Amino acid sequence: MGHDIDTRPAHEIGADHPHADILKKASTLSEALPYLKAYNGRTFVIKYGGHAMGTPELAASFAEDIVLLKQVGIQPIIVHGGGPQIANMLSRLDIKSDFVDGLRVTDEATMAVAEMVLSGAINKQVVSAINAAGGQAVGISGKDASLVTARRVRRTHKDPDSQIERVVDLGQVGEPAAVNPTLIDVLRKSDLIPVIAPVAPGADGTTYNINADTMAGAIAAASHAARLFLLTDVPGVLDEDGKLLTDLTPNSVAELVGNGVIRGGMVPKAQTCVTAVEQGVEAAVILDGRVPHAMLLEIFTQRGAGTLVGRPERR
C-alpha cells in the first residue's frame, strides 16, 4: 500500500500534522529558490563582531551560515571587529585608552595590542569556526597583498565652554584610502573564504586600526558586492515607536538622521550603508547578529530580517 499524501497547501496544514515540520522546511526551501538563483556567483561582504560573536553558540551558527552561503554559490567575505576583546586585553595590560566620537585614541602601545588581538586571536577564532563547520577559511588583514591602504583619521571637537573647534589627534586610527581587490579576486575564484582583520598600513608604512564597518563598506564597494551586511546588537533602524524600518534609501536615511530618529552609534552604520550603495553596492543591510540565522532570513525570504538600504525597488 502506498503512503497517504496530504495535497493541501502547506499554509493550510496545522502544527499537529505528522509532516508539519517537513512541509515547513520544504516551503522555506521553495521560497528561497528565486534568491538562490539571483545570488549565485555574487559577492556578499559581512561585517562580523561585537555582540554577534559573543557566545560559542552564536559563533558556531554564524560559521555554519557562512559555509552554507559558499556551498550554494555565494562568495562571502568576512570583515571582523573586536572592540570588546581589545578593551579587555588593554585592561589586562593596564593600558589606558580614551575615545573621541566612538573612536579609540590609538597610540603605539594600543595599536600593538589592537593588531595582536584583531589579526591574531580573533581572526584565527573566526577562521577556525568556519573550518570546523566544513568550510575553508583563510585569515588576512589589510596588510596582505596591499589589500587596503589607510590614511589617518582626524576629528574636530568643539569645546563646550568656548565653542571653539579644535582638531583632535586620534593617533593610529585610520580609514581606507584605497582598496586593491587582487587578493580577494584570487580567493573568490577558489574554495577559500577570506576573513579580514581591519588593520592596514598607511602610505608611509604606519599601521592603522580601522573601524570594521568602514573597512567592510570599502571592501564591498571595491569588490562590486551585491550585499553588505552589518551585524549589530539591535534589530536594525527603528522608528520613534521602536518599530523596525525595513526598507530605506539614501535620501530617507539623510532625513532620519536629520530629524534625530537615527542617532548615536546607528548614525555611522547607516552612513556606511549609504556610502556603499552610492559606490555601487546593490544594497546594504543592518541586522541583529544575536539572532541565529538572521542573515539567512534576510537573504532567502521575501520579508527579510533587518533594515535594507538601497534603491527603492530593492529587497
Backbone torsions φ then ψ of 86, nearest 5 degrees: -65, -45
More confident residue, 104 or 17: 104
The single residue listed with the C-alpha cell 528565486 is: 34
Confidence of residue 7 (pLDDT cuts 50, 70, 90): very low
Tally of CB atoms within 10 A around 311: 12
- Segment among 135-144, 221-230, 262-271, 297-306 with least mean pLDDT: 297-306
Average pLDDT over residues 45-54: 82
Q: Is residue 14 predicted with pLDDT exceeding 90?
A: no
Inform me whether the pLDDT recorded for 54 exceeds 90: no
Report the residue count for the chain: 315
Residue 238: how many CB atoms within 10 A of its CB?
15
Taking alpha carbons only, the member of 176, 240, 170 closest to residue 213 is: 176
What is the SS3 string spanning the chain?
CCCCCCCCCHHHCCCCCCCHHHHHHHHHHHHHHHHHHHHCCCEEEEEECHHHHCCHHHHHHHHHHHHHHHHCCCEEEEEECCHHHHHHHHHHCCCCCCEECCEECECHHHHHHHHHHHHHHHHHHHHHHHHHCCCCEEEEECCHHHCEEEEEEEEEEECCCCCCEEEEEEEEEEEEEEECCHHHHHHHCCCCEEEEECEEEECCCCEEEECHHHHHHHHHHHCCCCEEEEEECCCCCECCCCCECCEECHHHHHHHHHCCCCCCCHHHHHHHHHHHHHCCCCEEEEEECCCCCHHHHHHHCCCCCCEEEECCCCC
Give CA–CA dist 300/315, Å, rounded: 10
Class of 42-310 per CATH? Answer: alpha beta
Other CB atoms closer than 10 Å to residue 109's CB: what's the count? Answer: 13
Task: Supply the pLDDT for residue 29.
Answer: 63
Q: What is the pLDDT of residues 19-31, one digit of tens each?
A: 456 555 565 566 6
pLDDT at 313: 56
Position 159 confidence tier, pLDDT thresholds 50, 70, 90: low
Q: Is residue 2 predicted with pLDDT exceeding 80? A: no
User: Which band of pLDDT confidence, cut at 50, 70 and 90, is reported for residue 237?
Assistant: very high
Please check the confidence at residue 293 and state whether its pLDDT lies above 80: yes
Task: Give 165 or 303, the one with higher predicted confidence.
Answer: 165
Residue with cell 549589530: 232
| pLDDT for res 30 | 67
pLDDT score for 12: 53
Higher pLDDT, 200 or 234: 200
Grid cell locating 47: 561585517
List pLDDT tens digits, range 182-209: 999 999 888 999 999 999 999 999 999 9
pLDDT of residue 158: 67
The pLDDT of residue 203 is 95
pLDDT value for 8? 44
Least confident segment among 7-21, 224-238, 287-301: 7-21
pLDDT value at 15 more than 70: no
Band (312; pLDDT cuts 50, 70, 90): low
At 179, which amino acid appears? V
Q: 302 to each of 31, 73, 90, 306, 312, how far by Cα in Å?
A: 8, 19, 43, 12, 15
**Mean pLDDT estimate for the chain:** 86
Average confidence (pLDDT) over 253-260: 91
* For the chain, domain boundaries: 42-310
Res. 105: pLDDT tops 80 = yes
Percent of the chain clearing pLDDT 70 (strictly above): 84
pTM score: 0.85
Reported as a single tens digit per residue, the pLDDT across 160-185 is 667 677 777 889 999 999 999 999 99
As a whole number, mean pLDDT of residues 141-149 equals 97
